[in-house]
Structure 1
């Protein structure tokens, strides 16, 4: 019975394109309104997490003449720093409102692409369901992960566009979309797995082996071209180092295994709660009916592999799972009675409301600390002074409107703590290769007016990192205060 219903659904889907001219004129405003409503918490404060702060500082440095992968560095591709830089050029760099609007646009574009893909395969109702489900599911994490305008958010439209294009046999365009996803964040390249599956399946749908080879060349060109251009526009060797080869210690599973696994379990449970409305139909339907959704399962599987890659399991990594999960929920609901779709969407909407309320009401102790520290920096320095904040909250630089003394905006790049490690793989020997040599040269050339040890008992503080102690002693810094556990040192006191 379920298989017959699925077959009839596919028959309906093949005839929907010519008619229903008002379909998109009705659906687009509804999706836009829902995208804005689910992102209301994102405007509730100056920023949500250190990634936003890191990107904001990078954008300011780029505006002041900095060079990506030279004087402005991170373990990420260049697309999102460029987006922040462009948004700040248009709307100013005192607020993240402009990038929050771009993030809403990224979510809306992802929802529209998923709706278009589902409508093409399973009909009008499926298109509406897919777009709405995605927007509801995409807030189903800790607000610090779901509401922030970070790398994963701008990666999602590329992943959705890649599958959308491959589904229409536009493999050159699919390759470009894969490249855009990769250039937002490396793990976006995982969407190449379902794209290649669709390319392989295209051989039996018309073009034949020769056509598949031609489309494969187009796909490869689409992937390689933008990535090569990004490398040339930045620094080719730096691009390769910072995005691929320079993160061996960061990607290791050794150190803090229980801590990392607990984080992964917690975020899995959060996303599972957000998906509570669609999991029962998915389990019921997809175990008894062949739905022709192999590419969606591959998309979900490759995305899950991308979440696991690096063994950190931060909540924002899980956003990559939301587009394929929304489509799997959609295809399952299409072969069940219509009332099941209504119940599933209502359940997802109710859970979504809880996550939105969490975002609006949750306390923000890390932000409050960063704001107090930024105020202390402003009171002790002049606008042109350089400062060093030794910690994991680069947003302090942005909040204080002070220039970092080093290209390394977090202590993690110099100790490997940035991966959430608090065990044996934290220390100078696990830093990015060559980082300490460059770091010491930067501080010797232009010593910071103030140094803040914001480790607050973590294993990368001055008590355990000889390199930082040497900076403090050699530079003549003296302790002048404590702000929320962060120790402030000033140069040339007395």
Structure 2
């Protein structure tokens, strides 16, 4: 009983997290990124080598795929996310207590704000994306860095990086924080080893599976091509200049705001690498924003702190407006779930509310699963990786969507894969805008149309 009383506040926070995330456990197989992770990881579960035998584009580092492989289904993937986010709540609470333990309103208010921003669907916190997984070890790394546990901090940043590349910006922030606030040569060596060893181990493991280190690095840095859509140099110059300003004012600003300000600016750079307006990218800046607000409101020189912290927050606001980032609706999400639970909405209508194609995809997956054996492969020309997952069947070739084929200009490679290992069934989506005339001609020669399910034409091998 004493334990319950001692941790009463944290228990309430965790209970709120679970309640807000409960509807996410019952979402259908609808979100593209999740289904790509699950489709690729299905191949990993069946013995394929990630990056060599089945791959993504742009690729992410391996941990998101390995986590999806451990999950195996959207329910367990979402459940893992719930548990991961609950751990993140604990880490954020510990961080805020370490910084401002005597100011309970700041500790608990900041923790509550974190739960709302990452558990509600406004920033796609309900989706098992890389940002949701990478941000927890980054927060833990910053806490460990503050506590001068350098090796462990480096290890956590490596863990975050092995989920998604934008953590490189957080690593840069940590390096600057170390330089500005912690002048310890022995510490920087420990930090560097903690950062480098896990990444080197991953490179070694994949090398042992036949993926050359240079190819692995190219795969892991696949998303770097997105940067060309939004010039990096001007942003890098701006962030570097602001970092210099923070450094010059470090004595007046205090260690907390120097630390928070550097983290916020570099995390914002990481969140905007692609210049795309997807809300989940901005999960990366949630904790730095909360810590920056806290640092503005505490200690001496409050006027200067409010000005400097305000510049950082204004930069966030300008970025969100410039990129036209639109949060996802919240009330409609929970109302939809409530109607389904209350029996006011049938399952087909419930899944269609996420994506109108869902009822068709469920039906198509059931058809393919019942008309093929577990070892047979299928091929879908379209962007329905969820069908592979629900049907529990692998695609022919390395790619799981038509836009991967187009982005990589892998049309010839795809035909080579199909000729080498013809699938039991081919599905041509009539609503797929990308053309592939050679595939249509090949299907007409070697397959016969057996069914039409919505916009999906199903062909069986002769």
**TM-score bucket (shorter structure):** 0.7 to 0.9
Structure 1 unaligned residues grouped into runs of 5+ = 1-19, 88-92, 255-288, 337-350, 417-429
Paired residue for 1:357, among 334, 337, 356? Answer: 334
Q: Counterparts of 1:31-70 in structure 2 under 5 Å?
A: 31-70=13-52
SS of residue in 2 equivalent to 1:409: coil
1:3 is matched with which residue? none
Alignment equivalent of 2:440, drawn from 469, 475, 478: 469
Instruction: Give the root-mean-square deviation of aligned CA atoms.
Output: 3.1
Distance 1:359 1:196, change over 3 A: farther
TM (norm. structure 2) is 0.75
| Aligned positions of 1:196-211 closer than 5 A | 196-203=175-182, 208=183, 211=184
The answer as to 2:217 corresponding to 1:240 is: yes
Q: Alpha-carbon deviation of 1:169?
A: 1.9
Match of 1:220 among 174, 192, 205: 192
* 2:229 maps to 1:253: yes
Q: How many angstroms does 1:469 deviate by?
A: 3.5
Of 84, 92, 95, the match for 1:106: 84
Seen in structure 2, the aligned counterparts of structure 1 residues 391 and 302 have a Cα distance that, compared at 3 Å, is farther
Q: Distance in 2 between matches of 1:455 and 1:141?
A: 31
CA distance in 2, matches of 1:48, 1:294: 42
Quote how far apart the aligned CAs of 1:214 are.
2.4
Match of 1:322 in 2: 286
Deviation string for 1:229-249 (max 9, x for gaps)? Answer: 1122123343212111x4565
Which deviations, in whole Å up to 9, do the C-alpha atoms of 1:164-205 show, x marking residues without a partner? 1111122221111111111111112221133112201234xx
Cα pair 2:125 2:280 within 8 Å, conserved: yes
Rounded Cα–Cα distance in structure 2 between residues aligned with 1:136 and 1:215: 35
* Residues 389 and 165 of structure 1: CA distance in aligned 2, closer, same or farther (over 3 Å): same
Corresponding residue for residue 404 of structure 1: 395
Compared with structure 1, are the counterparts of its residues 62 and 29 closer, same or farther at alpha carbon in structure 2 (3 Å cutoff)? same
Q: 1:150 to 1:299 in 2, by over 3 A?
A: same
- Cα distance in 2, alignment partners of residues 253 and 80 from structure 1: 24
- Say whether 1:83 aligns with 2:67: yes
**Residue 358 of structure 1: how far off its partner (Å):** 5.6
2-structure distance, mates of 1:444, 1:24: 65
Listed as ranges, the gaps of 5+ residues in structure 2 are 231-251, 303-327, 339-349
Aligned to 1:133: 113
Number of the residue aligned with 1:282: none
Q: What does 1:479-494 align with in structure 2 at a 5 Å threshold?
A: 479-492=449-462
Distance change (3 Å), C-alpha of 1:484 and 1:146: farther
- Structure 1 residues 332 and 129: CA distance shift in structure 2, 3 A: farther
The 2-side partners of 1:397 and 1:40 are apart by: 26
User: For 2:87, what is the secondary structure of its paired residue?
Assistant: helix
Paired with 1:330 and 1:353, the residues of 2 have a C-alpha distance of 26
- Deviations along 1:144-164, whole A, 9 cap, x unmatched? x32122222211111111211
Alignment deviations for residues 106-128 of structure 1 (CA, whole Å, 9 cap, x no partner): 11222222221211111241322
Match of 2:68, SS? helix
Q: Work out the CA distance in 2 between the residues paired with 1:202 and 1:142.
A: 35
2:405 is equivalent to residue 449 of structure 1? no
How far apart in 1 are the matches of 2:137 and 2:257?
20
CA offsets 1:30-88 (integer angstroms, 9 cap, x no match)? 2221210121121123434122222222332222111111112121111122223234x
What corresponds to 2:269 in structure 1? 305
Q: 1:159 to 1:142 in 2, by over 3 A?
A: same
| Preserved contact between residue 175 and residue 222 of structure 1 (Cα < 8 Å) | yes
Question: What is the Cα deviation at residue 450 of structure 1?
Answer: 1.6
Q: Give, in whole Å, the separation in 2 of the partners of 1:111 and 1:119.
A: 12
Secondary structure, in 3 states, of the residue corresponding to 1:53? helix
Note if 1:166 corresponds to 2:145: yes
Post-superposition shift, 1:21?
A: 9.2
Residue 478 of structure 1: how far off its partner (Å): 3.9
Counterparts of 1:294 and 1:489 in 2: how far apart (Å)? 62
TM-score, normalised by the number of residues in structure 1: 0.71
Alignment map for 1:7-46 (pairs within 5 Å): 25-46=7-28
- Count of residues in correspondence between the two structures: 389
**Pairing of 1:279-428 with structure 2 (within 5 A):** 290=253, 292-332=256-296, 354=331, 357=334, 360=337, 363-364=353-354, 365-378=356-369, 380-416=371-407
